[in-house]
A and B are shown apart, each in its own frame.
Chain A
Amino acid sequence: MYLSRRSALASFSLALTMTAGSGAAHAKPALNGASTATTRPARTVVAVPLDDRTFTAITGTGGSKTTLRVTLKANSDGSPLKLTRAERNRIAAILGAPTAGHKAPSGEESSRAWQSETLAGQQSGPATLRCDKNPSWSDSNGTLSARFNCRYSNINWGYKISQRVQSIISGRVVEQGVSWWKNGKRMPRNAGHVTGKNYHFHGTLKPVVHGNNVQFQDYMTFRVNIGGKTGTGSLVWVSNVKAKK
């Protein structure tokens, strides 16, 4: 069951804000705790075209949420890139971002739309991560897996970019490294990597013990080539779990 906007606001546990154009991502830890885990199939929450050459697709699952953003370059002579509706639709389809008929919103409108849709897509609380179970959450952007290894008091995570997104990446991926919070306290960031697009990103969050609420996220950037049109892309994934024996 999806939350109403009001109840989503009440249980909002992980706020991710993105600065349009900069690609910077920031997350804040929980302000209030929610304990009910939900499991839902992946679905695209929103796709907001910020302008004629930027495409954003936000996808949520029961355990993760990802944001894929692609900004195509201007024309080589410096003139603004003008895409036909057919081109926009084709690119949006590749990215999983249905944009047909959308009018590019202003910055404030975009931010408001993004926030409201983010809240609407927010799960009601952290997903439960049982000791030694190895759940994974897949969407059109990639697959996140996580395991609470209670014997060693850690969480092992892995992330693989989907084949569809890999198909538009034209160079190496710059991974910032997982930032994470335990019970609202920021913990040392995992190592970042510059590596190939088919790399299985992974890391360990520790120490984590029974009952800890762990929120973690990563940020990746890369160059893209979509049907000969080049640009830059970014992928942010966030997850919110509760470790239980």
Chain B
Amino acid sequence: MNLTITAALEWAEIILRQLGAPVGHTLDARTAAPGGEAGTQATKVAFTSRLRIGGDARPGEPTSGQSTGSVVIVLAFDDGSSTSVLLEESMTEAEAVALLAEQLQESVLEHTGGAAAPPCPGHNHPAAAKVVEGVATWTCPQDSRDRARPILPARS
């Protein structure tokens, strides 16, 4: 997969809107060592991009449209805690999006006190991220057929 920081941040932004992430959170992205080998030090980054959600984005900050290998997305909350998700170059786009959605969902879930987001229509539990027929999809953990919907909007 030709993963870029810009694309990964866009995915994260879309997902967080679906999750209703708490006010004050920030998103960061940075490259990781090839393959995201265990032991990669978070401070040893070649490139950092920052995007603040909520109308405070600064377009002048560096972003990269070029493939950068593995990317780490960092979701930080105003209490100082944060969650980082490693998207590895070896993943397909669908796998990366589903993993990102799943991990961000869990993080947001903890910070919102368990709000079921994104909703699973007709149920009290949240939808679950999964790759279905090659597409990253929000599915119902009880019945994945009826309520499945793509995590990312269809490209025009």
Name A's B-contacting residues (CB within 8 A). Answer: 22, 24-27, 172, 174, 176-177, 179, 188-196, 217, 219
Q: Are A26 and B39 in contact (CB under 8 A)?
A: yes
Give which listed residue, A22, A26, A174, A194, contacts B38 with CB less than 8 A: A26
Q: Say what secondary structure dominates the interface of chain B.
A: mixed
CB distance from A109 to the nearest CB of B (A): 23
Q: Are B38 and A25 in contact (CB under 8 A)?
A: yes
Shortest Cβ distance from B104 into A: residue: A191
- Per CB-CB distance, the 9 closest pairs between chain A and chain B, nearest first, are A179-B38, A24-B39, A191-B103, A192-B84, A194-B82, A195-B81, A189-B86, A26-B39, A191-B83
Whether B106 is near chain A, meaning CB under 8 Å from some CB there, is yes
CB distance from B130 to the nearest CB of A (A): 10
Kindly identify, within residues 104 to 135 of chain B, every residue whose CB is under 8 Å from any CB belonging to chain A: 106-107
* Contact count band on B: 20 to 34
- List the B side residues contacting A191 at CB < 8 Å: 83-85, 103, 106-107
Known: A24-B41, A25-B39. A188 touches B91 (CB 8 A): yes
Task: Report the bound CA distance from A117 to B81 in whole Å.
Answer: 36
Given contacts A172-B80, A177-B84, A191-B106, 13 further A-B contacts (CB under 8 A): A26-B37, A172-B81, A174-B42, A177-B85, A188-B86, A189-B38, A189-B88, A191-B85, A191-B103, A191-B107, A193-B83, A196-B81, A219-B38
CB distance from A104 to the nearest CB of B (A): 24
Task: Report the bound CA distance from A192 to B40 in whole Å.
Answer: 12
What are 30 inter-chain pairs, A to B, with CB distance below 8 A? Answer: A25-B38, A25-B39, A26-B38, A26-B39, A172-B80, A176-B38, A176-B39, A176-B42, A179-B38, A188-B86, A188-B95, A189-B38, A189-B88, A190-B103, A191-B83, A191-B84, A191-B85, A191-B106, A191-B107, A192-B42, A192-B83, A192-B84, A192-B85, A193-B83, A194-B76, A194-B84, A196-B81, A217-B38, A219-B38, A219-B39
